[in-house]
């Protein structure tokens, strides 16, 4: 059974850093495309970043240069290192697997809340 | 960047009704269009991918159509559990979601 479990969210001050984790089971992150999607309180979904099976990474313009996606194959875990955090980065962050047969997100974690506030 | 515009933003309907939600892309995305359902406090759930393919386990009262720039999600005979927010997503060039359609009970 495929499962994704996020952790690492919390309260951080503007300008601070946080690292989110997403532990995967039922599939291997090294062989799949896995992404981060966020949702600000009361708002819609926003794609944040993706890492391809080959290691290529992509980012939304809103986080480029501040966020870094990575993975630890030995732990089968995805990470999102978030630096220079802004108030507008406040959101629930979801990790999600991308099915590349038709390019859709088929499995999602439960999300972890990041609050950026002074 | 490809922009996705959903309409309406909100919709009131009754159990048993048929509803249609539309999604328009700012440029052609072929059939790279997915639909998700989200309930409060929960992660999105995939309903339809590649514009018209029903995800396994999703009831057949949900259907999708369209290609190019214009797409629709139709739900026939609304059930109480269908009241939620629906999002379209393009996966043709990076990934962009529509702003969402909130389906409420009339």
B28-59 pLDDT, tens digit each? 999 999 999 999 999 999 999 999 999 999 99
Provide residues of A within 8 Å CB-CB of chain B. Answer: 35, 37, 44-47, 50, 58, 60-61, 94, 96, 98-99, 102-106, 108-111
pLDDT in tens, chain A (118 residues): 999 999 999 999 999 999 999 999 999 999 999 999 999 999 999 999 999 999 999 999 999 999 999 999 999 999 999 999 999 999 999 999 999 999 999 999 999 999 999 9
Q: Which of A44, A98, A109 sits opposite B43 (nearest CB)?
A: A109
3-state secondary structure of B15: coil
Instruction: Name the burial class of residue B68, with classes exposed (0-12), middle (13-18) and buried (19+) by CB atoms within 10 angstroms of its CB.
Output: middle
> What span, in angstroms and rounded, lies between the C-alpha atoms of B106 and B93?
37
Best of A48, A100, A103, A113 to substitute, by most chain B Cβ atoms within 10 angstroms, is: A103
Q: Under an 8 A CB cutoff, do A94 and B97 touch?
A: no
Within 8 A of A60 by CB-CB distance, chain B residues are: 94
For position A54, what pLDDT does the model report?
94
Within 8 A of A44 by CB-CB distance, chain B residues are: 87, 97-100
Nearest-CA distance A111 → chain B (Å): 7
Rg (chain B; Cα; Å): 13
Q: Which residues contact A88 (CB under 8 A, 6 or more apart)?
A: A40, A116
Within 8 A of A35 by CB-CB distance, chain B residues are: 95
Residue B19: C-alpha distances to residues A44, A90, B16, B64, B98 (Å): 21, 33, 10, 12, 18
Residue A102: C-alpha distances to residues A51, B19, B51, B63 (Å): 17, 26, 10, 17
Size of interface A-B (CB pairs under 8 A): 59
Within 8 A of B95 by CB-CB distance, chain A residues are: 35, 47, 50
Q: Which two tokens stand for residue A81?
A: 């290192």
For position A106, what pLDDT does the model report?
96
For position A112, what pLDDT does the model report?
98
Handedness of CA A2, A110, A86, A12 (dihedral sign): negative
Compute how many other C-beta atoms are within 10 angstroms of the C-beta atom of residue B25: 24
Taking the Cβ of residue B97 and every Cβ of chain A, the question of whether any pair is shorter than 8 Å is answered with yes
> What span, in angstroms and rounded, lies between the C-alpha atoms of A16 and A114?
12
Please state the φ and ψ torsions of residue B82, each to the nearest 5 degrees: -85, -10
> What span, in angstroms and rounded, lies between the C-alpha atoms of B56 and B46?
9
């Amino acid at each position: 059974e495929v499962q994704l479990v996020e952790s690492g969210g919390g309260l951080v001050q503007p300008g601070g850093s946080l690292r989110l984790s997403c532990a995967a089971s039922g599939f291997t992150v090294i062989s799949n495309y896995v992404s981060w999607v966020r949702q600000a309180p009361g708002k819609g979904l926003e794609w944040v970043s993706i890492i391809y099976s080959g290691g290529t990474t992509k980012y939304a313009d809103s986080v480029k240069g501040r966020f870094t996606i990575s993975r630890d194959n030995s732990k089968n875990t995805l990470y999102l290192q978030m630096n220079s955090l802004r108030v507008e980065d406040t959101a629930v962050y979801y990790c999600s697997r991308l099915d590349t047969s038709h390019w859709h997100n088929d499995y999602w974690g439960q999300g972890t809340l990041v609050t950026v506030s002074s | 960047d490809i922009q996705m515009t959903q309409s309406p933003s909100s919709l009131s309907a009754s159990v048993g009704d048929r509803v249609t939600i539309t999604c328009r892309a700012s440029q052609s995305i072929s059939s790279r269009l997915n639909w998700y359902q989200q309930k409060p406090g929960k992660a999105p759930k995939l309903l339809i991918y590649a514009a018209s393919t029903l995800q396994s386990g999703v009831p057949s009262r949900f259907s999708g159509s369209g290609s190019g720039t214009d797409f629709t999600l139709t739900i026939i005979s609304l059930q109480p559990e269908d009241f939620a927010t629906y999002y379209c997503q393009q996966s043709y060039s990076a990934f962009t979601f529509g702003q969402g359609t909130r389906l409420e009970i009339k």
